[in-house]
Amino acid sequence: MAPRSAIPSNLYSSPPDFDALAESYPPLKPHVFLNATGKPSINFKDIDAQRRLTEALLYRDFGLSLALPDGRLCPTRRLNYVRWIQSLVRSVRPWESDVTPDLVLGLDIGTGASAIYPLLSCAVEPLWRIVATDIDEISLEYARKNVNENDLSARVDIRRSSVEGPILHPLTDAALPIFDFTMCNPPFYSSAEDIVQSASAKDFDPHAVCTGSDIEMITPGGEVAFVQKILEESLSLKHRCRWFTSLLGKLTSVASMVDRFRETKIDNYAITEFVQGHTRRWAVGWSFGAVRLPDRIAHPTSSVLNSASPLPTTLHQHYPTPATVESLFSSLYAVLNDIDGVSYITKDPSNPDDINNGGNVPSDPGSERVLVSVGQNTWSRAARRRKQLSAPTTSLQSSVPSDLHVAEHASFWKCEISVEHSPPRHGAHGPTEFVLSVQWRVGASRGDFESFWSHVTRKVGAKLAGDPGDRKRS
């Protein structure tokens, strides 16, 4: 069995070696046969074969054992959702000020009989704890059995929900710390007729069999209504969870959720897409916090969802030669030093101890990040005009904290600036370029972030060009 840290994120991107898998998990052996091409396979439309396959993969790859009752969902293709949340948590926590050390707390809504998400989460992340809920007594019974069988009762708390009660009720438990995330695989369908229509439209994997019960697959209004109920409840529990997330089974549901985000003025949201075999699924996430996700986590790769995607948090500015790494960083530092209310530190990611305040210029692009803290807008024409008309005040430079955590002040925000090589944009014979890139990390005002970046890149460009009038122009 592979060490948990060695499990690749694309573990199930290709079919397994069924013969080898059956050797590691003998109950699978009776279901393995040679298909028409002479390769070992199983009948994916056979419920028993699908259950044994799931058991075998969990046992081989994670050391997990699983008991499933008849008539309940057999979990498949679940790791990618856990991996996405893992990336989200790792991106957010370094920038939060109120994290509980050595503890990541999640809520799994509708955990099912398998409790698959708590089991996988605990297998890949040793510091995670999960509160898992369900409304079905059979599912709750087996979920507890699976948690106990895998010695995870100290890390997974199974709780009963009710159809009439709130979905997010564990978030109101004052004995629990702030949750880092919620996750949910909601009932996809609004009725039995909806299931039939979706099957005919091939929303189901045509190469597999559906093993779920009505209570797991059907809810009034379908998945959009269910997830929107989570969203409505989250509006009054904003600061009890850093990120709310859910899977979605239909592409149209993504647009419906984004419409609701925009209606409720939620601009800090994320979309991703999971493609595995013949199945395509999506996930959405939203947050009321100030920490922003990188585009690689918050943006789907499919262009179909471009109009629904959040605005980018990573921006780039190209500078052609004769710009160099040294000249770019020197110009950047000079520009930052000229802005009141801004502090920064530089850090070489390859050397955790190498942090200095406006220190040495790196020799290699990409080897250094400039972590910028901004107290308020002091760079715009309007801000400078106000300053000229007001009485002299102490500079904000020393009042802006240089640590990486979120400040309480609403206008406070942070970004990360780096320099990277860029291939010629105009063919192989074009000039080599360097790119100044910024990653928005913390903040509520997108307008201030974009205004700051526009000011910085313009001033850096002027300094690189040796423009003597740069200081005089605003």
Write down the H helix ranges in 338-445: 381-389
Which of these, 424, 446, 445, lies nearest to 435 by C-alpha position?
Answer: 424
Helix (H, G, I), strand (E, B), or coil: what is residue 449? helix
User: Rounded CA gap, 103 and 89, in Å?
Assistant: 11
* Residue-level pLDDT at 147: 97
Summarised one tens digit per residue, pLDDT across range 119-140 is 999 999 999 999 999 999 999 9
pLDDT at 473 exceeding the cut of 50: no
CA atoms within 13 A on the CB side of 415: 25
pLDDT in tens, 281-307: 999 999 999 999 999 999 998 889 999
Of 186, 245, 193, which Cα lies nearest the Cα of 217?
186
DSSP 45: T
Weakest-pLDDT range from 30-34, 383-387, 391-395: 391-395
pLDDT at 50: 86
Positions of E strands within 362-470: 369-374, 413-422, 433-442
The per-residue pLDDT of the chain, averaged, comes to: 83
Q: Rounded to 10 degrees, what is the CA torsion of 250, 252, 254, 256?
A: -130
Scanning the structure block, which residue is given the tokens 């715009």?
A: 380
Please determine, for residue 97, whether its predicted confidence score (pLDDT) is greater than 70: yes
Instruction: Answer whether 319's CB lies under 8 Å from 435's CB.
Output: yes
Report how far residue 224's alpha carbon sits from residue 39's, in angstroms, rounded to the nearest whole number: 40
User: Is 359 marked as binding a ligand?
Assistant: no
Cα atoms in the Cβ-side hemisphere of radius 13 Å centred on 296: 4
What pLDDT is stored for residue 350 in this prediction? 56
Percent of the chain with pLDDT over 70: 76
- Percent of the chain with pLDDT strictly greater than 90: 55
- Residue 110 among known ligand-binding residues: yes
Q: Does the annotation list 185 as a binding residue?
A: yes
Sequential DSSP letters for 187-221: --BSSHHHHHHHHHTT-S-TTS-----HHHHB-TT
Compute the average pLDDT of residues 63-86.
82
- Is 134 assigned a ligand-binding role in the annotation? yes
Q: What is the pTM of this model?
A: 0.85
Neighbours of 431 (CB within 10 A): 11
| pLDDT greater than 90 at residue 240 | yes
How many CA atoms within 13 Å lie on the side-chain side of 53? 25
Closest of 201, 192, 199, 197 to residue 219, by C-alpha:
192
Q: Are 130 and 100 in contact (CB under 8 A)?
A: no
Which residues have C-beta within 8 Å of that of residue 236, sequence separation ≥ 6?
none
**Complete DSSP assignment for 64-124:** ------TTS----S-HHHHHHHHHHHHHHGGG-SSPPTT-EEEEEES-TTTTHHHHHHHHH
Tens digits of residue pLDDT in 356-381:
444 444 445 456 789 999 988 889 88
